[in-house]
Amino acid sequence: MIDLHDKVKQVLITGASRGIGLQAALSLLHAGCRVYCVSRSPSNHAHDNLHHIPADLASGVDSGAEICALLEERGVFPDTLILCAGAITEALIPKQDPPSIMNQLNVNFVAHVELVRRLIPHMMRHRFGRIVGVSSTAARQPAPGQSLYAASKAGLEAFLRCCAMEFARKGITCNSVAPGYVATEFSARLEATKDLSKVVPVGRMASVQEAADAVLFFLGRHSDYVTGTTLTMDGGLSLAVK
């Protein structure tokens, strides 16, 4: 059982049909939260407190507005946001066409900005909120072909640092987690994961539970004084890569 802050009750998670987002959702359900999962298709898990919000973040601002409209129809005002959705097209810049550029920027950054913009006023009124963005070590150490993914994840981190400054006095913390390689379907598609035992000091990928636990730390009782920071959990990869 995770030691959640007692005001964490209703949690919105993007990219929650699999991977880190799904694992975080399941942990929060066990902790007694009501969880709203944003994804194109629902997960295979059923629970009275697990609710699917059908949406594709590829439309950016419009996607964020659509999600918030669906929440308002249901009378739902989350006190916690976990911004986990991610998209990557691995290709050098000349091979990145406009649709792939906009898809990565919208999914990784723009739609999340719109969600925060629309949902944070409720947190301000209640003087409590928790916002956690799932970034990536690629934001600081990208591999070739990851320019748009790295830029959009770095943008998410910078955005949340600014939000941390703006809303700290309203009881709202804003932080990021930057995982290295995590054993998910997403990572399995990346060329850089072929032989991690030689480059990651701990010799393996992180499990999805380890990554989800890093996210959930920022929702706990012991993180009230932590805001505007990025927690890197990469098995020492950032120390090894020069």
Crossing angle of helices 111-126 and 61-73, rounded to 10°: 40
Distance CA 52, CA 56 (A): 12
Query: Looking at 36, 149, 181, 225, which residue is catalytic?
Result: 149
For residue 192, pLDDT beyond 60: no
Can you read off the two tokens belonging to residue 64?
A: 């964020």
Q: Rounded mean pLDDT of the chain?
A: 92
The three state secondary structure string of 51-99 is EEEECCHHHCHHHHHHHHHHHHHCCCCCCEEEECCCCCCCCCHHHCCHH
Quick check: 78 and 10 in contact, CB under 8 A?
yes
Each residue of 207-223: pLDDT tens digit? 999 999 999 999 999 99
Confidence of residue 189 (pLDDT cuts 50, 70, 90): low
Kindly state the tokens that stand for 168. Answer: 């700290």
Chain centroid to CA 191: 22
Mean pLDDT within 95-115: 97
Across 182-186, average pLDDT: 79
Model confidence at 191, in pLDDT bands (50, 70, 90)?
low
Q: Is 196 exposed, middle or buried (0-12, 13-18, 19+ CB in 10 A)?
A: middle
User: Per-residue pLDDT averaged across 107-118, rounded?
Assistant: 98
Rg (CA), the chain: 17
Q: What is the CATH number of domain 10-240?
A: 3.40.50.720
Task: Provide the pLDDT for residue 187.
Answer: 64
Confidence of residue 148 (pLDDT cuts 50, 70, 90): very high
Look at the alpha carbons of 116, 120, 122, 127 in this order and tell me if their dihedral is positive or negative.
positive
Whether 115 has a pLDDT exceeding 70, the answer reads yes
Q: What whole-number distance in Å separates Cα of residue 106 and Cα of residue 111? A: 6
The residue type of 54 is P
* Catalytic status, residue 181: no
Question: 132: which strand partners?
Answer: 82, 175
SS3 content of the chain, % helix, strand, coil (to 5): 45, 15, 35
Banded model confidence at residue 11, pLDDT cuts 50, 70, 90: very high
pLDDT digits (tens, 9 = 90+) for 19-30: 999 999 999 999
Position 52 scores a pLDDT of 95
Residues 6+ apart with CB under 8 A from 215: 20, 24, 82, 84, 132, 134, 177
Domain residue extents for the chain: 10-240
pLDDT tens digits along 13-58: 999 999 999 999 999 999 999 999 999 988 778 889 999 999 999 9
